[in-house]
A and B are shown apart, each in its own frame.
Chain A
């Protein structure tokens, strides 16, 4: 009987940001994308282990696919994180996005859906497209 107040119940952290995958037409909501800066080489554990630990805080992680440099086939700073439920993915958008992992700010955004081939960075040199990182100024 009571009305749901749109002015009140704001949940802006789970909104889709301006980045849109230019190659994909439709959307599924079970996935997110993690964007990170290029890192210099230090002895660190595999990125997927760190990512798994961090993103498990908001729910059970189904799988992680590491983004690879197309040419060198090494990790180049982004990955896909897939949850079993949308609710868990929403929690990640609210509580993991914008916090630090390995002392760098994590940026998450909804992803349309992982398809084979999309794990390769599409910059001309095979690395991560840098313009995406410029748009996200670090807080």
Chain B
């Protein structure tokens, strides 16, 4: 008994001590959790939760004011979909503690300056929107908000700045008006009218050459693909006409009006927009993606029109939810489906439209493609009775409009649809698409089905593809992905390479050394050479053919087998492809052997580049060669080319990074030397180190220059090839008096555009490419 008491005491004492030292951290975590999760999983109303939280925070202000300020600033920046919840909270705190309100506003202004300095323009929008909604909560005086907006709009008067800069400032102002337009108009209608007319003038004179390059469809029907500022302007105009009555936004502060209107307001300090810096990265312009209207959701709540401000707010909030929760698909799906006010809108349609809008966004989706696939699967799981139907409807609509869809977007649709189907036993009503069988196979619809089946086969097997489609679709089913061995049997015995192929094959099977195999290969006759010309080292296409065909045949069983084979005989492969012609021919042989298995071609080419058997320019030249012209519109061709470009870009970035790191190291070394004082031995050691670093930097500098030159050359090759192809096509059409706009031509222009978008353009380049693309269309 005494023992127990003793241990109790010691435990109790220690526990008490432990509790005391960890308390502040625990409390800070608790504060964070309380604030971030306010209203979640509660049986009481949001308003009473906010009231309770305001009381708790007010009590904690004396000890934890800075922490609370930081948390609130962070939610303003990171949880824009809960904007009005937190502005209400700040309003309640301001009503109870005027000084705190003032400090919060100051902290927000500081944060706004930081985000602008760090090119975080999207987050800056959320911050300004938060400030503007604080007007509704009586924290900020309306006239000072109007003054800030006036300063923003005055950026449109600046000269010699990129259009995307003034675009952003106009966008910020317009995008706040759904929340605060009413209040600002009630207090300062003259100033607001002047502001809006300035905006109108700007919107009329700004360039919109980027629009065609960003539209998912070229057709204006059934839904116009509007430029984002034009659409937002139309929505604000309509809102103004409706006398700023906005009914969708959830406004908890209305319930607290009696408390809040007693509060004293703060004035925003005068805010001058930071000047334009050359390295500023303003957001790129966008086109609004629309695929549904109220006629598509005939039952249930009506879908808000394309120019209604409700549409804008809903889409903004859904985009924000995805931005916050994309890493956790279950949470993301749950958050999307529990959107406040969901009972008044056809939520499933909005969700599907927003997700496809992101997936098809040009130049790139905001998140990884595969995220959208798994998110949609998750949504189907959570709403099995309704969402799959909307998704099927959407898929059907997308199929119907393939003729005018940008090829880049069609690629993404193919990848999404095949991956999606593979999670649902490939069940689909293929018969509904039998119209695609009635047109040429190179038209968009049959092409789409063909590519979907090919991608689906990669996640399944050939016979499955045969089984899942009606027999009438057999022309669209991919070929069985089997190796085509030139030297397979006796019937090939007349081929010049046949005898050596047998010898080499046996040598490989008997684990002969590389030298032995090279010796065997010397016996392969060279069709390019005269009989008495004894230059054994020159390019011999037949040698490459015999060795590679035989090797790949032996390793055809799987990717792993083929990769091992390439690795094992790397030396031989390098010897055979010493010249540019050799590299080109190697790729040709790979294609000929595996032309029924594009997936295998892609992975082999990837390995050949990574092991430096072929270079990127060789791959580009091969894909654009006459031999590959019949595959020019196949998806796998472009996947290989894009993958090649990406490898090149990553390679350059990697070496640039190494160079930067070495330079940093040298700088640190030199600082150390300055601080170390007069130590002879240390001086000598550091001199040696410096010398080594300088040598390393010189080597890396050379490496960077050579890599950049290779990169530039790759793009030059690609653009030159495009010019040649397009010129040939235009000449052919002219002489034949045929219409230029064939499916091939459209495909080619879209592909050219896609390459433009991979060069990592600055804004000036981007608009230049837009002009070229517009000319070509």
B284: Cβ under 8 A from any A Cβ: no
Contact partner, A43, options B371, B463, B560, Cβ 8 Å: B463
Q: How far is the CB of B105 from chain A (nearest CB, A)?
A: 15
**8 nearest interchain CB pairs?**
A46-B558, A7-B36, A57-B370, A3-B70, A53-B458, A2-B74, A11-B327, A95-B370
User: Is B425 touching A2 in the complex (CB atoms < 8 A)?
Assistant: no
B324: Cβ under 8 A from any A Cβ: yes
A63: Cβ under 8 A from any B Cβ: yes
Query: In the complex, A50→B461 CA distance in Å?
Result: 9
Q: Which residues of A contact B37 (CB under 8 A)?
A: 7
Query: In the complex, A48→B490 CA distance in Å?
Result: 32
Q: Which residues of A contact B327 (CB under 8 A)?
A: 10-11, 13-14, 94
Query: In the complex, A33→B50 CA distance in Å?
Result: 45
Q: Which residues of A contact B638 (CB under 8 A)?
A: none
What residues of chain B have their CB less than 8 Å away from a CB belonging to chain A? Answer: 29, 32-33, 36-37, 67, 70-71, 73-75, 77-79, 110-111, 114, 324, 327-329, 331, 368-371, 373-374, 377, 415, 419, 422-423, 425, 458-461, 463, 481, 557-560, 563, 599, 603, 606
Q: How far is the CB of B332 from chain A (nearest CB, A)?
A: 10
Q: A13-B327, A50-B458, A52-B603 are in contact. List 18 more A-B contacts (CB 8 A).
A: A1-B114, A3-B70, A7-B37, A10-B327, A12-B328, A13-B328, A14-B327, A48-B558, A50-B459, A53-B459, A53-B599, A57-B369, A57-B373, A65-B560, A94-B327, A94-B371, A100-B422, A102-B459
Give the number of chain A interface residues (Cβ < 8 Å). Answer: 41
User: Is A6 touching B71 in the complex (CB atoms < 8 A)?
Assistant: no
Q: Which residues of A contact B374 (CB under 8 A)?
A: 94-95, 98-99
Q: Which residues of B contact A5 (CB under 8 A)?
A: 32, 36, 71, 74-75, 78
User: Is B111 touching A49 in the complex (CB atoms < 8 A)?
Assistant: no
Q: Which residues of A contact B33 (CB under 8 A)?
A: 7
Mark A11-43 against chain B: 1 for CB-CB distance below 8 A, else 0: 111100000000000000000000000000001
Contact partner, A6, options B32, B67, B75, B377, Cβ 8 Å: B32
Given contacts A13-B328, A99-B423, contact A2 B559 (CB under 8 A): no
Nearest B residue (CB) for A101: B459
Q: Which residues of A contact B560 (CB under 8 A)?
A: 46, 48, 64-66
Contact partner, A96, options B67, B70, B370, Cβ 8 Å: B370
User: Is B559 touching A99 in the complex (CB atoms < 8 A)?
Assistant: no
A138: Cβ under 8 A from any B Cβ: no
Contact partner, A2, options B70, B373, B423, B458, Cβ 8 Å: B70
Q: How far is the CB of B473 from chain A (nearest CB, A)?
A: 21
Contact partner, B559, options A1, A11, A52, A102, Cβ 8 Å: A52
A45: Cβ under 8 A from any B Cβ: yes
Query: In the complex, A7→B331 CA distance in Å?
Result: 13
Please list 10 pairs of residues, one from A and one from B, whose beta carbons are closer than 8 Å in the complex, sorted by A's number. A3-B32, A12-B328, A14-B327, A44-B461, A45-B461, A45-B481, A50-B459, A53-B599, A95-B329, A95-B370
Given contacts A1-B111, A64-B560, contact A58 B79 (CB under 8 A): no
Query: In the complex, A60→B368 CA distance in Å?
Result: 13
Q: Which residues of B contact A4 (CB under 8 A)?
A: 74
User: Is A3 touching B558 in the complex (CB atoms < 8 A)?
Assistant: no
Nearest B residue (CB) for A139: B381
User: Is A64 touching B32 in the complex (CB atoms < 8 A)?
Assistant: no
Given contacts A1-B110, A3-B74, contact A49 B369 (CB under 8 A): no
User: Is B558 touching A2 in the complex (CB atoms < 8 A)?
Assistant: no
User: Is A2 touching B77 in the complex (CB atoms < 8 A)?
Assistant: yes
Q: How far is the CB of A92 from chain B (nearest CB, A)?
A: 9
Q: Which residues of A contact B29 (CB under 8 A)?
A: 6-7
Q: How far is the CB of B82 from chain A (nearest CB, A)?
A: 10
User: Is A3 touching B559 in the complex (CB atoms < 8 A)?
Assistant: no
User: Is A8 touching B78 in the complex (CB atoms < 8 A)?
Assistant: yes
Q: Which residues of A contact B331 (CB under 8 A)?
A: 10
Q: Which residues of A contact B371 (CB under 8 A)?
A: 91, 94-95
Nearest B residue (CB) for A52: B559
A54: Cβ under 8 A from any B Cβ: yes
A116: Cβ under 8 A from any B Cβ: no
Query: In the complex, A50→B377 CA distance in Å?
Result: 20
Query: In the complex, A117→B603 CA distance in Å?
Result: 26
Q: Which residues of A contact B460 (CB under 8 A)?
A: 50, 102
Q: How far is the CB of A68 from chain B (nearest CB, A)?
A: 12
Query: In the complex, A96→B560 CA distance in Å?
Result: 21
Q: Which residues of A contact B73 (CB under 8 A)?
A: 1-2
User: Is A95 touching B368 in the complex (CB atoms < 8 A)?
Assistant: yes
Q: Which residues of A contact B377 (CB under 8 A)?
A: 99
Q: Which residues of B contact A58 (CB under 8 A)?
A: 368, 370
Q: Which residues of B contact A103 (CB under 8 A)?
A: 425
Nearest B residue (CB) for A12: B328
Q: How far is the CB of B485 from chain A (nearest CB, A)?
A: 18
Q: Which residues of A contact B599 (CB under 8 A)?
A: 49, 53
Query: In the complex, A101→B77 CA distance in Å?
Result: 38
Query: In the complex, A9→B102 CA distance in Å?
Result: 28
Q: Which residues of A contact B77 (CB under 8 A)?
A: 2
8 Å CB interface, A48-78 against B = 48-50, 52-54, 57-58, 60, 63-66
Q: Which residues of A contact B481 (CB under 8 A)?
A: 45
Q: How far is the CB of B557 from chain A (nearest CB, A)?
A: 6
Q: How far is the CB of B640 from chain A (nearest CB, A)?
A: 13
Given contacts A52-B559, A53-B459, A102-B459, contact A91 B328 (CB under 8 A): no
Nearest A residue (CB) for B458: A53
Max chain B CB contacts within 10 Å: which of A10, A12, A46, A49? A49
Query: In the complex, A9→B370 CA distance in Å?
Result: 20
Q: Which residues of B contact A48 (CB under 8 A)?
A: 558-560
Q: How far is the CB of A56 from chain B (nearest CB, A)?
A: 9
Q: Which residues of B contact A57 (CB under 8 A)?
A: 369-370, 373, 415, 419
Query: In the complex, A58→B415 CA distance in Å?
Result: 13
User: Is A94 touching B329 in the complex (CB atoms < 8 A)?
Assistant: yes
Q: Which residues of B contact A13 (CB under 8 A)?
A: 327-329
User: Is A101 touching B422 in the complex (CB atoms < 8 A)?
Assistant: yes
Nearest A residue (CB) for B71: A3
Query: In the complex, A99→B329 CA distance in Å?
Result: 12
Q: Which residues of B contact A3 (CB under 8 A)?
A: 32, 67, 70-71, 74
User: Is A46 touching B557 in the complex (CB atoms < 8 A)?
Assistant: yes
Max chain B CB contacts within 10 Å: which of A2, A14, A58? A2
Query: In the complex, A54→B74 CA distance in Å?
Result: 37
Nearest B residue (CB) for A90: B327
User: Is A100 touching B423 in the complex (CB atoms < 8 A)?
Assistant: yes
Query: In the complex, A120→B404 CA distance in Å?
Result: 52
Nearest B residue (CB) for A59: B368
Contact partner, B558, options A8, A10, A49, Cβ 8 Å: A49
User: Is A91 touching B459 in the complex (CB atoms < 8 A)?
Assistant: no
Q: Which residues of B contact A8 (CB under 8 A)?
A: 36, 74-75, 78-79, 324
